[in-house]
Amino acid sequence: MAVVVIPVYGRADLLWNIVRHLDGHNLILIDDCSPDIQTRRAVEEIGSRAGNRFVSMEHNRGFPVAANKGASMVRSDRFFLLNTDVVPLEGWDQNMWNAMDRHEDAAAVGAKLLFPDLVTVQHAGVDLDKRSGLPRHVYRYFTRQAMEVCEPRAYAMVTHAAVLFRTSAFMQAGGYDEAFGIGMYDDCDLGLKFREMGFISVYEPTAELIHEESASFKTRPDLDEIYKHSEKLFRERWVLSGRIFPLLSVRRLED
């Protein structure tokens, strides 16, 4: 039985939906001071079930803080971290687990994320856009069965909307940098820290989930400010310094 950490901010409907797909897992829910009573009550109800735990934050601190809090409660050597806006498809968890078994240097295993049409790829790994100097999802908008998205690879970065972590590597890296505030680029920052430490992030194409991208962020009135802050921090730390460029190699992995 694996541990799944889920940061929550509003959208009780998404929380109830994902929980339906997580039978057999122990859940750690971190309510990041949701703005509505329905979500806060849902977190308490689900988090009070046998095997589950929850924390209700007094202030809205953002995804990095909530995820770090959840990770600090993990007592196993691995844990899943899921956004509430993903819907797992059959076999997602075992396939990610098996991928980490195969790669002892993997700090994280990411999944193939699909748009709700179940055909179009949203995430199949992350690299650097040469024009903007910022992370981009490679093979975005390719079809689900395209050859390029069906090959496992080692990347410097994968999205953490659905990810399996090796707990020791997460803790060694210091978790998410809370300077990213509400969150954006925080997962790429952590992936690059893993890479500097000698770990890889694995993209596992047989693990598939639907992703309603940035569902909770879209409700925030300060979304533009969040993007600008996180983009500036990431660009200064990794791109303008040149620190990122030795870390960007991508390689195919054996199944």
pLDDT tier at 237 (50, 70, 90 boundaries)? very high
Average pLDDT of the residues in 198-206 = 97
Closest CA to 93 of 144, 164, 18: 164
pLDDT at 133: 80
Task: List beta partners, residue 121.
Answer: 114
- Please give the C-alpha separations between residue 87 and each of 98, 142, 235, in angstroms, as whole numbers: 20, 19, 31
Average pLDDT of the residues in 92-103 = 97
Average pLDDT of the residues in 207-223 = 72
Candidates 3.90.550.10, 3.40.50.2000, 3.40.50.970, 3.50.30.10; CATH matching 3-245: 3.90.550.10
- From CA 244, how far away is CA 238, in angstroms rounded? 5
Q: What is the pTM of this model?
A: 0.94
Give the mean pLDDT of the chain. 93
pLDDT tier at 126 (50, 70, 90 boundaries)? very high
- From CA 141, how far away is CA 42, in angstroms rounded? 34
Instruction: Please report, rounded to a whole number, the percentage of residues in the chain having pLDDT higher than 70.
Output: 95
Domain ranges of the chain: 3-245
Average pLDDT of the residues in 112-118 = 96
